[in-house]
Amino acid sequence: MGVVALVPAAGRGERLGYGMPKALVPVDGVPLLVRAVRGLLDSGRVRHVVIAAPPSEVDVVNTVTAPLATPAGGAVHVVAGGSERSDSVRLALTYALREIPDTSIVLVHDAARAFTPPAVVDAVVDAVAAGHPAVIPVLPVADTVKQVDASGVVIATPDRAALRVVQTPQGFDAAVLLRAHEAAHEGATDDAGLVERLGVPVVTVPGHPDAMKITTKFDLAVAEALLVGSGGAP
């Protein structure tokens, strides 16, 4: 059973404001992207990784990921990403289905979720392998959430108990993910959102706080603290 992980890493990191693409921002000397890919490979469940890199940084990404050890028969592949995240995922998916034989399960994992524990990867792959065509890791919502109108006036207060915060890796049957991306709907902020629109059920597994997405300087500081808290594991 071939598990291929697609890693969208082609964003500019504007909210982080580090002056370089976020995927290449180092934490304790190791770029976020390298940490994210290492977490996928450390799960022991992923054979091939396809990274969608910033188009101007394909060579740099090849260089920084070259030392990563892949399982026998596996490899890290780098393609140029697109202008939106969904374009980057689609480009990586197209490459995987064309170039990597036996791609049956596909994970999509943000480079920005660099500290995702391998156990989350494991849980997602297990659930897809058990027959669920779409699986996402989630956490409960800690804050009360309001729905507001265009001028900021509250319309509704959804029941917090029924809400979840969504993380990656999201796991899919490869054919289902392809169908979802071919339908090319606008406005979905994650891959599961595209799959939902096909009417395919999406199931959840427990995520982990460490799988937080690094978006802002505050998040980067939290990530650095996480590393110190874990004894600075490389």
Residues that bind ligand CTP (CB under 6 A): 8-15, 22-23, 52, 81-85, 88, 110-112, 213, 215
User: From the CB of 216, what's the least distance to Mg ion, in Å?
Assistant: 12
Contact 88, 141 (CB under 8 A): no
- Regarding 81 and contact with Mg ion (CB under 5 A), the answer is no
Structure tokens at 234: 């490389």
User: From the CB of 183, what's the least distance to ligand CTP, in Å?
Assistant: 19
Q: CA 226, CA 80: separation in Å to the nearest integer?
A: 31
The pairing of strands 134-140 and 170-173 is antiparallel
Q: CA 111, CA 70: separation in Å to the nearest integer?
A: 17
Per partner kind, with CB cut-offs from 5 to 8 A, the member of Mg ion, ligand CTP, none near residue 14 is ligand CTP
What residue number has its CB nearest to ligand CTP? 11
HEC string of 34-90 equals HHHHHHHHHCCCCCEEEEEECHHHHHHHHHHHCCCCCCCCCEEEEEECCCCHHHHHH
Q: Which residues pair with 77 in a beta bridge?
A: 50
User: From the CB of 71, what's the least distance to ligand CTP, in Å?
Assistant: 23
The site that binds Mg ion (CB under 5 A) totals a number of residues, namely 1
CA distances from 28 to 34, 138, 148, 216 (A): 12, 27, 40, 17
Per partner kind, with CB cut-offs from 5 to 8 A, the member of Mg ion, ligand CTP, none near residue 23 is ligand CTP
- Regarding 11 and contact with Mg ion (CB under 5 A), the answer is yes
CB closer to ligand CTP, 134 vs 220: 220
CB closer to ligand CTP, 110 vs 173: 110
Structure tokens at 83: 């202008």
CB closer to ligand CTP, 133 vs 169: 169
CB closer to Mg ion, 11 vs 133: 11
List of residues contacting Mg ion (CB under 5 A) = 11
